[in-house]
């Protein structure tokens, strides 16, 4: 279903602001992006025609550092969606205590209808359109829905052409040959794995707890493989074409091979179930790793898991979240559970800025440490204030952003109010 992510993000900020007793001027600052850009993106089609689609880039907050956030290519991209995602990125970077703010970008286009040549033309055109608003010290794009290494390589190369010098730190998620970090391709999955394992132990779930993963894509597929290797039983997975189930535990390597060969998990030798029934499977752990709004109120009533780890952005609607809370289902929110990607993006940016190359083991160890510490911080805030984890995450992240805003502007505002 479609949800207004921007309004959802602002509602969450207001709830955190109420809990923190935040000053009105700081709350108002958090309600508005620092910079919002809407552009027209012309590109050359294979038939020689020039076509034009809308694009966006929003920097919500740079109080704690340069804005950071992905760039998605999708037909549903809108200005309000991008603003909402940028707002949530500000909170996400603050929750995991990175020296970054929050941003997001996107183009309203169906990339599956474009050739490789058209995609490159589109990506380079978008980069030229937003070049004045991005940079290693200003706003740092990254991959998101329907974008990946090749798009980031094109963006970095085009930005170098526009500015006249190579600046690999302008984007993250690049190929390693172009300055990308080792471990970036599985970072979201690896970060979510740490959250799942630590939370499962805290909740005393079985060592072979049953896991259901909605979305067998860039995050869900490697996460399924990691959790299966850890001894968990992945009993259900889905993709855009359908869902499968095996109560004994799926052979994730075989499922991945089937998807690679035939384009979907539904061709694997397992029970085929309706996608909406996946969420109601009997399990201990549910991981929504698809698009936002995947779990609404009706589906929340059917969830049987004890723990939900949100590997996707905004997968649970506001009403569904309240239902899950009433049913005492623990939800580790997306601002932490899906933060592995932005953490390793930060590592990539730091390597580029320092002209360093870190080993895969060093990256993995730093990611796990950061996720564990952040989860501990989150549980501590929840316990101290008697809050659910989502509200605690917003309080933690918003509180850190507000402190930076007050430090940057507070004295000037105080003088103006006193004059």
Which residues are within 8 A (CB) of 42 and not within 5 positions of it... i.e. 6 or more apart?
Answer: 50, 51, 52, 125
201 & 294 share domain: yes
pLDDT digits (tens, 9 = 90+) for 361-403: 999 999 999 999 999 999 999 999 999 999 999 999 999 999 9
- Pick from 332, 350, 383: which residue ends a domain? 332
Q: Give residue 250's pLDDT.
A: 98
Q: Are residues 149 and 192 in the same domain?
A: no
Tens digit of each residue's pLDDT (9 = 90 or more) over 319-328 = 999 999 999 9
pLDDT for position 412: 55
Residue 314 has pLDDT above 70, yes or no: yes
Same domain, 173 and 191: no
Tokens of 316: 């649970």
pLDDT band at 418 (very low <50, low <70, confident <90, very high): very low
In a domain, residue 328? The reply is: yes
Classify residue 235: in a domain, yes or no.
Answer: yes
Asked if residues 140 and 66 have their Cβ atoms less than 8 Å apart, the reply is yes
Residues 146, 269, single domain; the answer is no
In a domain, residue 363? The reply is no
Out of 75-79, 317-321, 332-336, 365-369, least confident range:
317-321
- CATH code, 131: 3.40.50.10860
Is 171 inside any structural domain?
yes
Per-residue confidence (pLDDT) for residue 69, from 0 to 100? 96
State whether 159 and 209 are in the same domain. no
Mean pLDDT across 226-234: 98
pLDDT at 415 over 50: no
The answer to whether residue 221 is domain-embedded is: yes
Regarding whether 296 and 250 lie in a shared domain, the answer is: yes
Quick check: 296 pLDDT over 80? yes
User: Which structural domain range is residue 161 located in?
Assistant: 5-13+33-178
Range with lowest mean pLDDT among 251-255, 343-347, 409-413:
409-413
pLDDT for residue 411: 55
Give yes or no: residues 9 and 149 share one domain.
yes
For 308, the token pair is 């939900």
Same domain, 40 and 170: yes
**Mean pLDDT across the stretch 116-123?**
98
172 shares its domain with 191: no
Domain boundary among 159, 178, 197: 178
* Residues 159 and 117 occupy one common structural domain: yes
Of the chain, the percentage scoring pLDDT greater than 90 comes to 90
CATH of the domain at 285: 3.40.50.720
Rounded distance, CA 67 to CA 57, Å? 11
Span 214-227, pLDDT tens digits? 999 989 999 999 99
Q: Are residues 132 and 85 in the same domain?
A: yes
pLDDT in tens, 165-191: 999 999 999 999 999 999 998 999 999
State how many domains the chain has: 2
3-state SS of the chain is: CCCCHHHHHHHHHHHHHHHHCCCHHHHHHHHCCCEEEEEEEEEECCCCCEEEEEEEEEEEECCCCCEEEEEEEECCCCHHHHHHHHHHHHHHHHHCCCCCCEEEEEEECCHHHCCHHHHHHHHHHHHHHHHHHCECCCEEEEECCCCCHHHHHHHHHHHHHHHCCCCHHHCCCCCHHHCCCCCCCCHHHHHHHHHHHHHHHHCCCCCCCEEEEECCCCCHHHHHHHHHHCCCEEEEEEECCEEEECCCCCCHHHHHHHHHHHCCHHHCCCEEECHHHHCCCCCCEEEECCCCCCECHHHHHHCCCCEEECCCCCCECHHHHHHHHHCCCEEECHHHHCCHHHHHHHHHHHHHHHCCCCCHHHHHHHHHHHHHHHHHHHHHHHHHHCCCHHHHHHHHHHHHHHHHHHHHHHHHHHHHHHC
Residues 218 and 299 in one domain: yes
Q: Which residues are catalytic?
A: 104
Domain boundary among 149, 178, 207: 178
């Amino acid at each position: 279903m479609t949800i207004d992510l921007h309004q959802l993000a602002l509602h969450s900020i207001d709830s955190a602001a109420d809990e923190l007793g935040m000053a009105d001027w700081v709350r108002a600052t958090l309600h508005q992006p620092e910079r919002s850009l809407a552009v027209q993106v012309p590109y050359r089609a294979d038939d020689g025609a020039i076509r034009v689609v809308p694009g966006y880039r929003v920097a919500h907050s740079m109080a704690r550092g340069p804005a950071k956030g992905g760039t998605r290519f999708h037909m549903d991209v809108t200005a309000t969606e991008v603003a909402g995602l940028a707002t949530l990125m500000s909170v996400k970077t603050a929750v995991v205590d990175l020296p970054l703010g929050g941003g997001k970008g996107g183009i309203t286009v169906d990339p599956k209808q474009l050739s490789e040549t058209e995609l490159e033309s589109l990506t380079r055109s978008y980069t030229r359109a937003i070049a004045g608003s991005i940079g290693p010290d200003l706003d740092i794009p990254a991959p998101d829905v329907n974008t990946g290494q090749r798009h980031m390589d094109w963006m970095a190369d085009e930005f170098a052409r526009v500015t006249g010098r190579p600046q690999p730190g302008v984007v993250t998620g690049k190929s390693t040959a172009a300055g990308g970090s080792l471990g970036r391709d599985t970072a979201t999955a690896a970060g979510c794995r740490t959250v799942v394992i630590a939370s499962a132990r805290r909740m005393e779930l079985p060592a072979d707890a049953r896991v259901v993963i909605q979305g067998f894509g860039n995050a869900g597929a490697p996460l399924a493989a990691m959790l299966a290797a850890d001894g968990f039983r992945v009993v259900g997975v889905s993709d855009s074409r359908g869902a499968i189930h095996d109560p004994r535990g799926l052979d994730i390597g075989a499922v991945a091979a089937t998807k690679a060969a035939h384009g979907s998990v539904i061709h694997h030798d397992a029970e085929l179930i309706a996608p909406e029934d996946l969420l109601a499977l009997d399990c201990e752990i549910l991981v929504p790793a698809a698009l936002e709004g995947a779990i609404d109120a009706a589906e929340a009533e059917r969830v049987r898991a004890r723990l939900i780890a949100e590997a996707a952005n905004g997968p649970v609607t506001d009403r569904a979240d309240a239902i899950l809370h009433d049913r005492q289902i623990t939800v580790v929110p997306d601002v932490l559970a899906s933060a592995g990607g932005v953490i390793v993006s930060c590592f990539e940016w730091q390597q580029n800025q320092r002209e360093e190359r870190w080993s895969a083991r060093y990256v993995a160890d730093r990611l796990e440490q950061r996720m564990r510490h952040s989860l501990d911080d989150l549980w501590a805030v929840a316990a101290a204030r008697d809050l659910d984890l989502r509200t605690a995450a917003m309080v933690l992240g918003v509180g850190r952003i507000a402190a930076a805003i007050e430090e940057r502007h507070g004295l000037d505002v105080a003088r103006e109010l006193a004059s």
